[in-house]
């Protein structure tokens, strides 16, 4: 089975952000539907104006910028310099630079934030693209560390039920369970089931768990997706 290093994964993403050709949705300026869903859920629970949010592996900042437009103080980071440079440009063009902070940061290395700093953290297909179990564990632990007590962690991720990803796991698997290398880019991707996610985030309290069905097109063919949307909460100290 083929494997990939962290450096190789980073180079693939840097190239994709510089000249999008496969993952064009990552170049979109429209926010992720899973993040919009989370905002509506959060708004129904509490006042959202001037709360502090963080998105890990934010790419070009599409969701960070949208949340900033909702008057949330947002920080986003990514290990791609190309992505962060474009995110800053887009935030300025959208007039929300005062509500956003973008920085180059690798999710698998010590995060540059104090503990208990953010009201919520967003993992929108972030840990699904971390190619090692060690890296995913580290990113999870840092996300929990920087969350305030009672803060929320949104996890929106690929499901083992997704038709296209099932095919990829069969045709281009890695040694890790439910993971594959993309047939065009070679990028690592991991899918999850609900039970695995509940165990992965067992130090947090699961508040909400839903499926988000939709149709997506890969290589000119439509596939059913049934992505996982979960909200966890950090305990009070």
Domain range enclosing 69: 6-233
Residue 26 has a pLDDT of 60
pLDDT at 23 over 80: no
Between CA 7 and CA 93 the distance in angstroms is 31
Segment 136-144 mean pLDDT = 98
Beta strands in the chain (DSSP E): 52-56, 73-78, 100-104, 118-124, 147-157, 179-181, 188-190, 205-218, 221-233
Q: How many domains does the chain have?
A: 1
Residue 162 has a pLDDT of 92
Structure confidence by residue, pLDDT tens digits, 183-207 = 888 999 999 999 999 999 999 999 9
Residue 45 has a pLDDT of 86
On whether residue 193 sits in a domain, the answer given is yes
Higher pLDDT, 41 or 16: 41
Q: pLDDT band for position 218 (50/70/90)? A: confident
Of 10-24, 87-101, 107-121, least confident by mean pLDDT is 10-24
On whether residue 202 sits in a domain, the answer given is yes
Query: What b/e sequence results for 164-173 when a residue is b if at least 16 CB atoms lie within 10 Å of its CB, and e otherwise?
Result: bbbebbeebe
Q: Which secondary-structure segment (H or E) carries 134?
A: helix 133-146
Of 109-123, 136-150, 153-167, 205-219, least confident by mean pLDDT is 205-219
End-to-end Cα, the chain, rounded Å: 44
On whether residue 56 sits in a domain, the answer given is yes
Pairing of strands 118-124, 179-181: unpaired
Number of other CB atoms surrounding residue 197 within 10 Å: 19
Looking at residue 82, which CATH number applies to its domain?
3.40.50.150
On whether residue 55 sits in a domain, the answer given is yes
Between CA 221 and CA 133 the distance in angstroms is 31
pLDDT at 136 over 80: yes
Which residue from 60, 117, 121, 119 is spatially nearest to 92, judged by alpha carbons? 60
Pairing of strands 118-124, 147-157: parallel
Q: Of 15-29, 163-177, 214-228, where does the model show the most confidence?
A: 163-177
On whether residue 1 sits in a domain, the answer given is no
Q: Which secondary-structure segment (H or E) carries 105?
A: none
pTM: predicted TM-score of the whole model, two decimal places: 0.94
On whether residue 213 sits in a domain, the answer given is yes
pLDDT at 20 over 70: no
CB 20 within 8 A of CB 82: no
On whether residue 60 sits in a domain, the answer given is yes
Q: What count of residues does the chain have?
A: 237
CB 110 within 8 A of CB 67: no
CB 34 within 8 A of CB 156: yes
Sequence-separated contacts (24+) of 45-50 with Cβ below 8 Å: 48/72
Segment 126-130 mean pLDDT = 96
Q: pLDDT band for position 27 (50/70/90)? A: low
């Amino acid at each position: 089975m083929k494997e990939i290093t962290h450096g190789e994964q980073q180079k693939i993403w840097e190239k994709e952000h510089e000249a999008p050709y496969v993952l064009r949705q990552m170049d979109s300026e429209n926010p992720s539907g899973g993040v919009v869903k989370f905002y509506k859920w959060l708004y129904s629970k509490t006042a959202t104006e001037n709360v502090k949010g963080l998105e890990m592996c934010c790419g070009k900042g599409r969701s960070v910028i949208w949340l900033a437009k909702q008057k949330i103080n947002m920080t986003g980071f990514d290990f791609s310099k190309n992505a962060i440079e474009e995110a800053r440009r887009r935030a300025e063009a959208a007039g929300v630079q005062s509500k956003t902070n973008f920085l180059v940061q690798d999710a698998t290395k010590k995060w540059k934030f104090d503990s208990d700093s953010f009201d919520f953290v967003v993992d929108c297909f972030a840990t699904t693209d971390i190619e090692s179990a060690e890296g995913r564990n580290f990113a999870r632990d840092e996300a929990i560390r920087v969350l305030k007590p009672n803060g929320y962690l949104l996890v929106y991720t690929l499901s083992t039920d997704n038709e296209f990803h099932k095919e990829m796991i069969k045709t281009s698997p890695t040694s890790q369970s439910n993971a594959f290398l993309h047939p065009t880019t070679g990028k690592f991707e991991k899918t999850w089931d609900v039970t695995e996610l509940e165990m992965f985030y067992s130090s947090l309290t699961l508040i909400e768990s839903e499926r988000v069905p939709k149709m997506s097109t890969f290589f000119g063919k439509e596939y059913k997706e049934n992505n996982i949307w979960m909200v966890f909460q950090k305990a009070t100290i």
